[in-house]
Every structure is written in C-alpha cells, then in structure tokens.
Structure 1
Amino acid sequence: MAANQDTLVTVFGGSGFLGRHVVRALVKRDYRVRVAVRRPELAGHLQPLGRVGQIHSVQANLRFPASVEAAMRDSEVAINLVGILTESGGQRFEAVQGAGAGTVARAARAAGARMAHVSAIGADAQSSSRYARAKATGEQAVLAAVPDATIIRPSLMFGAEDQFTNRFAALARMAPALPLIGGGVTRLQPVYVGDVATAVADAADGKTRPGGVYEFGGPEVLTMREIMEIILAITERKRMLLSLPFWLARFQAAFLQFAPGALKLTPDQVELLRVDNVVSDAAKAAGLTLQGLGISSDSLEAIAPQYLWRFRKAGQFAHNGA
C-alpha cells in the first residue's frame, strides 16, 4: 500500500469548525490535503497545521458541480464536511446538505475515490426540521452514488471554536437568564470535535466499515438544562434558567432569526430541539460508534474549561477557590 504522503485527500468544508480539526488529524498522518472551500483566501489559518506544501486550498462550491469535479482531480479520498446551521442567499439546506452532498459523491465516484460524509444524528426524512430532512437527503444521495461510503453522524460537537457552548457562555455574560427551550429536557450527547476528527481520519485510512452509518456521541447523555448548568459553573456566573414552551420559543425565533451573534435563534433550530440527539442502541449494538473504532471520547466537563475560562468576569485571572 502506498505511503500516506503519496495520497491526496480532498476535504470539502475543511476551513470550518470540524474541518480544521480534520485537516490537523490528516496531516499528522502524513496525507497531502486539498481543502475545497468557497472562499480559499479565508483558509490561510490552515497552512501552519502541516509542512510546507502539504496543505493546499482551492475554490469549490457544492452548488456548482464543475468546481467540485475540479477539486476532486487526482484525489484518492473525498471527505465532505460541508454543513450550514442557518440559511442565507443561495446557501439553502437542501442545496448544500442535500443536493450538494450528492454532487461530492458523484465526483468521488468518477475519480474512483474512497468517501466519508459527515451528516448528523437526527437526520430524518420525516423530521419537522428542514435541516434534519436535508441531512437525510444528503445521506441517501451519497450512498446512491458511492454505496461503500462511510456516513458519520455526530451529536452536538463542542470545542474551542464551537457555536454552542461559546454562544451560551457569551449570552450569560449579557443576559440575566438563559432559555431552556421545551423546558430543557431534550437529551444530547455532546462529543468533542477532536474525537470526531480522529474518526474521520480513520475513515480516510479505510478503517471504517464500508457503507456503515456511524453515530458519535460523548461519554455522557445530558439534558439541555444540565449542559447550561455546566456552562454556568465553568464560567462562574449565576443566571436564571428560564423554561420556554416550544410554541413560545418558535414565536420568538420568528424575530430572533434576524438577530446578531449569540441572540440568533431560528424556528428550525427550535424544531431540532423537539427530538433527543443521542447515539442509538442499534449503532451501539453494531459497533458503529467511537468506541467501536477504539476511540475513547472526552467529556464536556473535561474539555470546556480549557476554552470557556475567557467568559469569566476576570478571564484567566478569575479566582476559582482552589
């Protein structure tokens, strides 16, 4: 088998939150990495992760098949990480996460490349969430074009640049209360982004089961209320936890979807919180989990203090009573 330094991996969406961790994991395994993104001039932060010439960024947009095909040229592995949390302009859930995933898969098939596609736990063609329905459409399109592709469904991912723990820690800095949509009883299984990236690199190595649909979660299943309590404890802030029924949260989201930063909330995000986001018993039984790949996952309480300290009143100089 050829050495990894002779293998070119194209990572679609490699400059994002998960992407930078995946690129780091791949270069540590000596792969050559082509990062395909809409704005390659904004992907310069990836260059220091590898050796000179090991990482190269190119322009590609999943809504334009020709650009995807060009990005796949001479590549032996395709990894699709492209996903959006909110819609804007031509970046719609179905266009990017549905049809776009199929575009990558067909380009991978034409190049004879192995493929890993990152979806999400909760992908469901019957979901009330358009985000979840588009994720399901994308999975179907990928497997239709590349039946032996690896599908990866992570639960809520956390890490230094995430848009979840950082968002609520920032909200706690300015608001007297944090919202608990639906009463905060929705169960999640937060998974560290670095662990997901390791698994994606394993898929590039060919260690995953062909055609397998993997579900990745962390070591703990937590309710939204418990996650908020952890964030408040780490940031050393006391805030009310205000329960909001789904109907009221959806009404507020109709206006907050236009809000900036941490205040932004869309009706579709409210719909996502109606369903638990945890690893299924079927995935556990089949060994289609992080543990099945031999990866020991890190907990939210072990990792989040490493980056959420900046939201304390005195930042790194805050007295923690130790």
Structure 2
Amino acid sequence: MSNDVIVVFGGSGFVGRYVVRALAKAGKRVRVAMRRPHLGQDLRVMGDVGQIQLVQANVRNADSVARALEGATGVINLVGILYESGKQTFAATQLEGAQIVAAQAAKAGITRFVHMSALGADPASASKYGRTKGEAEKAVLDLVPQATILRPSIIFGAEDNFFNQFAAMARVTPALPLIGGGQTRFQPVYVGDVAEAVVAGLDCGGGVFELGGPRVYSFKDLLSFILKEIERPRLFAPLPFFVAQPLGAVMNTLFKLYPFAGPPLTDDQVIMLKTDNIVSGNANTLKELGVTKLESIESIVPTYLYRFKPYGQFQVKRRT
C-alpha cells in the first residue's frame, strides 16, 4: 500500500464503487468523501484493513471539502445527478459542487484531478444537464489546468440506470416508448472500464477524453436487445420528440410533488436524446488512457438482466 492518498467525491454511487475498488487494487489509500459516511461502511471491505477511509463532506460546503482534502495527493470528482430533486439541482450539484472541489484542490496545491463529465457536455446546450456539465468542465480547467476530464456515453453495469430501468418497465407494460423514433445513437461503456480510465486519468498529464464501448447502437437496437435478453416480447410505441418532451415535463413535476422514486423520463432527458451520444472521430479515448480490452453489452448485461425474465435465472431459453 502506497502513501498516495486519493480523495473520491461521489464514491458511494454506481460508478464510485467501481472506482474505489480499482484504486484499492492499484494500492492507493482511498478517502471517500460522503454526506452520510455511516451509509458507506460496505466500501471499507473493497480494500485492506485501513486502506479505505470514510469522511463527511458535502461538495456544496467549501469548509468540509477542504477538510476532506487535507494531506491528499489526488482528487476524483464523480458527483452528478440524472434529475433534479429538492436542493439537488443540476446547477448546485454539477456546477457549483465541481467549482468548490476544484477551487479547494487548487488552494491545496493538488494538480492530479479527475473530473467526471459526460458526452454532450456543452455550455451552450439546451439541456440543463448538458449545460451544467459543460460549464463545470470549464470551471474545473480554469482552476486546475492540469485536470483530466472524462466524458462517458451510457455507463452499464449491474446497478445501472438504463438497462435495468427499461427491463423493469418491460415487466409491467405492453410496450416500450421509442422516443424520437429510436434513432439516437449510443456507445455504451462498461463501468469497470470507466473505473480503469479514472485511475489512469490521475497520472495521464490531463486533457479531455471521450469514453465509449466497442460498438455503437441506436436507441431501438438497445431496447430490442433488452427485450430479447429478458425474453419478454413487447411492442414499440413511437413517441415523437414534440410529444415526449411535454410528457417528460409532466412526469418530472409529478416526481417533485411525490418523490417516491425517480421519474422514468424528464423533459431535460428528451432534449439530450435529440443528439447522438457517441465518441467523436478526433477525440482522445480509452485507448489513450491504456484501457484497450473493452467489455461489450453482450458479454456483461445478460449477467444481471436475468432477474427480469418471467421465470428468473433458470428459465429455459426459448428456441428462435
């Protein structure tokens, strides 16, 4: 175990857990900064005794961030949200939070900084999610010019919010929504490959990297793949953007009034779906970060979608 102390903000989330495990495997000392450290005790078992430390911090509170960074040699910011809820707004969490973490890292003289952004991040985006992601990138680079910015496409893995969500929807509905005709293209990337990229990003010298998996799929392709894997034939219900966007706005409003679960669709997500979510031709990619053996959805997703089959894991596969 080295004396390399890496502070991870957002380490208790879907991607964060894989990043904490990858850092521990690399021999780093990991300090996970959380709003509620008592809820992250399971993270400790991802490393040796004493290798993973949990501390209280909120990215919107500069003093708590500064305390979390004491003695650190590197910082990873993974904090992000898919929809707004209460004080957890895109501006407060993705922009202001990133600014505070970067400012405190700069004040502490820390230059090894990895910031998780997203494909589609653009300060001029019509989407609040994409706009705040883009503004956060600029804020981080202004404060820590040596920072590494990672922009992944859809991230998949056992706890993901894409394949699981649509598989769950197919379990209770006769049709799946084909938003915008299902032509939007994605390049899903495995969460384990993203975690490797995050670790490599600490010492790559900085830059912007776009992270995508080995294949590009249309939205319709991905829904068809899900239905085939869970063996639940369903219809596709074409949903034009001009219908999906107000529908998403209604769902988002209902969620804010009755926040028992995340909204299945928001108007902001519909805006993002109007643009392809794939790696650009001239971008730095996973390859430049040394991550070359990429996992595909075909090899990983079936290992966790089986629970959505009508008879579970041991259902006999139907002949086609």
TM class, shorter-chain normalised? Answer: over 0.9
Q: Is the 8 A contact 1:10 1:72 kept in 2?
A: yes
What is the deviation of 1:262?
7.0
2-side partners of 1:196 and 1:78: how far apart?
Answer: 16
Q: Is the 8 A contact 2:200 2:290 kept in 1?
A: no
Q: 1:222 aligns with which of 217, 223, 229?
A: 217
What is the deviation of 1:255?
2.1
The aligned counterpart of 2:286 is 290
Q: What letter matches 2:70 in structure 1?
A: R
Find the residue that maps to 1:5 and give its secondary structure: coil
2-side partners of 1:262 and 1:226: how far apart?
Answer: 24
The aligned runs of 1:129-278 (5 Å cut-off) are 129-204=127-202, 206=203, 208=204, 210-257=205-252, 258-259=254-255, 261=261, 264-278=264-278
Structure 1 runs (4+) greater than 6 angstroms displaced: none
2-side partners of 1:211 and 1:298: how far apart?
Answer: 25
The aligned runs of 1:77-156 (5 Å cut-off) are 77-113=74-110, 114-156=112-154
Q: Is the 8 A contact 1:199 1:293 kept in 2?
A: yes
Post-superposition Cα deviations, 1:230-289, rounded to whole Å, max 9, x if no partner, equal 111111110111110011111211222235547621111111101110001120xxxx11
Q: What letter matches 2:272 in structure 1?
A: L
CA separation of 1:110 and 1:253: change in aligned 2, threshold 3 A: same
* TM-score normalised by L of structure 1: 0.94
1-side partners of 2:157 and 2:251: how far apart?
Answer: 25
What is the deviation of 1:34?
0.5
2-side partners of 1:106 and 1:262: how far apart?
Answer: 31
Q: What letter matches 1:229 in structure 2?
A: S
Q: Is the 8 A contact 2:201 2:289 kept in 1?
A: no
Post-superposition Cα deviations, 1:50-100, rounded to whole Å, max 9, x if no partner, equal 111111111111111111111111000000000011111211111111121
Q: What letter matches 1:55 in structure 2?
A: I
Q: What letter matches 2:4 in structure 1?
A: T
2-side partners of 1:315 and 1:262: how far apart?
Answer: 25
Q: Is the 8 A contact 2:117 2:152 kept in 1?
A: yes
CA separation of 1:261 and 1:156: change in aligned 2, threshold 3 A: same
Find the residue that maps to 2:103 and give its secondary structure: helix
Structure 1 residue runs without a partner (length 5+): none
The aligned counterpart of 2:281 is 281
* TM-score normalised by L of structure 2: 0.95
What is the deviation of 1:45?
2.0
What is the deviation of 1:112?
2.0
Q: CA RMSD in A?
A: 1.3
2-side partners of 1:314 and 1:52: how far apart?
Answer: 40
The aligned counterpart of 1:39 is 36
What is the deviation of 1:102?
1.3
In the alignment of these two chains, the number of paired residues is 312
Structure 2 residue 12 is the aligned partner of structure 1 residue 15: yes
Q: What letter matches 1:170 in structure 2?
A: A
